[in-house]
Chain A
Amino acid sequence: MTAASVKPSAFSSGSPLRRIGPWLLLGVVIVATLSLAVFGTRDAPTIQDRVSSISRTVKCPVCSGESVAESNAPASQEIRRDIAVRVQEGQTDDEIRSYYVGRYGEAILLTPSASGINALVWILPVVALAVALAGLVIVFRRWSNELAETASPEDRRLVEAALRGDETGSSELADPDDGHGEGDSR
């Protein structure tokens, strides 16, 4: 895992600079590209673009699970027109969305708010992932500790017994022909 533990091999080529040089260059290219991607010129979103991006987050009030942008229901067409009017009036995205929440209730938004019990839908995945990762770390810790462990006296006794060909000792051992735990009924 660490560079120090690496033995020189056929593909390592001498000086540290020659080894990490290509990666440094790569890092520079990536940073440059990403900054261009973030700060480079791009077309300003048109009113139409804003209308469609807002309407993708508003649920069609009369359909099942579709957004206003997707649905062809008259109610959705009406809301799309209304969003367009509000965008032209200069309202912000959040103002428009909170207007609809006031009119139809929380269920009109396809993104649950991060307050009250609704916040759980955002928090729980993060907690679950954190717990899983913590579990992995603990397991790896335990595994690396086991590495240091030496055989117990019991183990030594069993090995010695097996080496002597002692029947009484080996009967306690798992079947030596059964390395993968297939059991006797195999």
Chain B
Amino acid sequence: MNVALGRAGVTLGLVAAILGVITVGYGLIRRRPDLIRLSRAYAVLVFVGGILAFIAMERALITRDFTVQFVANNGSSKTPALYNFATLWSALEGSIILWSAILGGYLVAVVFKFRKRLADPLVGWALLTMLVVAAFFFFLMAGPANPFKNFSPPVGFDGPGPNPLLQNHPLMAFHPPMLYLGYVGFTVPFAFAIAALATGRVGEGWLLATRRWTLIAWGFLTAGIILGSWWSYEVLGWGGYWAWDPVENASFMPWLTGTAYLHSVMVQERRGMLRVWNISLLCATFALTILGTFITRSGVLESVHAFTESSIGPSLIAFFALIVFVTVGLIGWRGDRLRSPGRIDSPLSREGAFLANNVLFGAFAFVILLGTVFPLVVEAINNDRISVGVPYFNRMSMPIGMALLFLMAVAPVLPWRKASAELLRHRLIWPAWIGAGSMVFAVAVGARGLAPVIAFGLGGFAAGSAGRQLVLAARRQGWRGLVGRANGGMVVHLGVVMIAVAFAASSSYVRQAEFTLRPGDIAEFAGHTLLYEGQNIKEESAKTLNQALVRIDGTGPWAPSLNKFANGQTTIGTPSVRSTFTDDVALSVIDIRGGDDPSVTIRVTVQPLIIWLWIGGAVMAFGTLLAVFPGKRRNPIDAVSSPLAGTAPPRPEPESDRTVANA
């Protein structure tokens, strides 16, 4: 029943997507608006197909229908309800279902949002592109990653349940959907970029139409990445939150190019420049999400997060190649129209700063891509095995991160066109003092070492600059000053500063030690007192927890544990973390002995400011929301600075309302 329902959904989605591509494509070539408008029906059918597959799989999981092979492989009657629901995205085939369902949702959202412009070729080509992407993912479900295979379970069969690590923390229910909403969300601006190239309307219309879509996708991706790092901090138990692991890098690369795009797009909106560059960034972002899926799902790279391997590698790499080929081909074909009319007057200007931002973000993404695939390249060339890990990425990202912080401090105060030294002196003095003040404060409370203290200073500088903008905006317009892209963006900057400072502090001043304690023993470490009280055994439906009860500075008891799962032979640890606003003490059990020996070996990791990573993430999400809501409306393609005398006549601004209506 569930297999049939799921297969019906997959077939419906696949057929609707393919027919949609053919119909809309034919309509676009023959200029038949009646056919182009049919995209609405196909989009809805694709969505229904995705939802059917999703419901069928959830139903199979909830009813423990082991005749579905995916459920037999990943489900278990002992898995608690929340993790059972999340089992769908704990393995490859199910995560493709989630991907397709979300893509269907975005398709319907686009059709609804642009319902009055469905016959517009720009929207038509965008929907065509999205339908092609949908066809690819439904093809994956129909063929290489079929989630609805039959299985005949023997009597009394029970599945193994999802990977124990994936049923150890409730964040597992939220982190992957968020990440996918981000990944898939970038399909929308990508589709419009392709549509702009296909129709030749490479001006600012499509940018404005997709501006909010891009922001929303970026917001989800940001939230997904931060929730993921929170999950690994709370679950993996090694005291860290970011390991520069291939899976993490795969999500971080599109984030970097997407962030670069969000900034450089403003140059195009204001000045009509950087057209090729923006389209390339957007296509790179989308291509990197597919490449990331390939890297993490095909088993070419080992990773602690790659919970599945499968045979979809060739399909994904082929699709990636198709995206790159089509994009490069289209850009080459439209080269004449893409030539920018303007130029940047001075490097010391808002647009100059955005260019520098793009160079840094591009270099950052390049470093991460290089470090991630370098072991593969070396092995292919001379068969050597090497590793590129945390120390490499930390060392490379530190100077880039600092340069970005500096830019975050200077760029917001720069005017468009050209800045004077006088203006910078005036606008930057208070942010600079805030930066110096944070350095003094950091050194006064005991921070040592050049790099972290500089990072704190730059963080303060950037925060001061963002704060200055927000204060000025709030003074001018009250609370409404905080809404809108520019000032919502400044709130996002504040969140980024929190994360950067927390990252610098925690990675510079981490202290780690192991202690073997008997009940009643006290250990002193990094200014904290640990008292081991004894063991405790706790039975839950899916697992048995072997806890070590520890008091940290008299609080607690905190109970890190080793968990034995009912169905697996594996034992995994769950750390216990005491967070304060100044530092985190994370405990994890390395060894807990049974029987006569009551002693326990625990690892203690003390890191400052960890909690600010999560607070910073929340601030970033909040800032994104502020940026999405419409602020004080200014027609985005109005000229803001008067053209230089004698170079260009003032242009009429025709029909701009229509463009903005969909922004």
Contact = CB atoms under 8 A, between A and B. Distances in A.
B637 interface: yes
Contacts of B212: none
B389 A22 contact: no
Contacts of A129: 359, 363
A185 to B, nearest CB: 6
A107 B386 contact: yes
B517 interface: no
B596 interface: no
A1 interface: yes
A42 B304 contact: no
Contacts of A2: 421
Contact of A65 (B243, B337, B346, B432): B243
B429 A23 contact: yes
Given A37-B443, A133-B359, A183-B199, A19 B240 contact: no
Given A3-B422, A66-B238, A26 B374 contact: no
Contacts of A36: 443
Interface in B421-440: 421-422, 425-426, 429, 432-433, 436, 439-440
A125 B201 contact: no
A29 B448 CA distance: 16
Given A65-B243, A117-B378, A181-B202, A6 B421 contact: yes
Interface in B288-314: 302-304, 306
Contact of B421 (A3, A34, A37, A63): A3
Given A1-B418, A132-B363, A34 B450 contact: yes
Nearest to B432: A26
Contacts of B439: 30, 33-34, 37
A86 interface: no
Contacts of A66: 238, 243, 304
Interface string A105-140: 111111110000110110011001100110010011
A170 interface: no
B514 to A, nearest CB: 8
A110 B420 CA distance: 46
B204 A180 contact: yes
B346 A34 contact: no
A33 B348 contact: no
A70 B388 contact: no
B344 A140 contact: yes
Contacts of A1: 346-348, 418-421
Interface residues of B, number: 92
Contact of B433 (A26, A106, A124, A179): A26
A47 B344 CA distance: 55
Interface stretch (B80-88, B96-104, B131-139, B652-660): B652-660
Contacts, number: 214
Interface in B385-444: 385-392, 395-396, 418-422, 425-426, 429, 432-433, 436, 439-440, 442-443
A13 to B, nearest CB: 9
A186 B123 CA distance: 11
B121 A185 contact: yes
Contact of A59 (B367, B389, B440): B389
Task: Give the one of B341, B378, B659 with max A CB within 10 A.
Answer: B378
Contacts of B453: 33-34, 37
Interface string A39-72: 0101000001100100011010001111101111
A17 interface: no
Contact of A181 (B201, B382, B419): B201
Nearest to A175: B654
A143 to B, nearest CB: 4
A121 B370 contact: yes
B450 A106 contact: no
7 contacts: A1-B348, A30-B457, A33-B436, A56-B390, A64-B302, A70-B236, A110-B391
Q: Which 8 A-B pairs have the closest CB atoms?
A: A110-B389, A70-B238, A180-B203, A64-B302, A181-B203, A37-B453, A143-B343, A107-B385
Interface of B: 121-122, 199-205, 236-240, 243, 245-246, 272, 302-304, 306, 337, 341, 343-348, 355-356, 359, 362-363, 366-367, 370-371, 374, 378, 381-382, 384-392, 395-396, 418-422, 425-426, 429, 432-433, 436, 439-440, 442-443, 446-450, 453-454, 457, 510-514, 573, 588, 590, 637, 651-655, 659
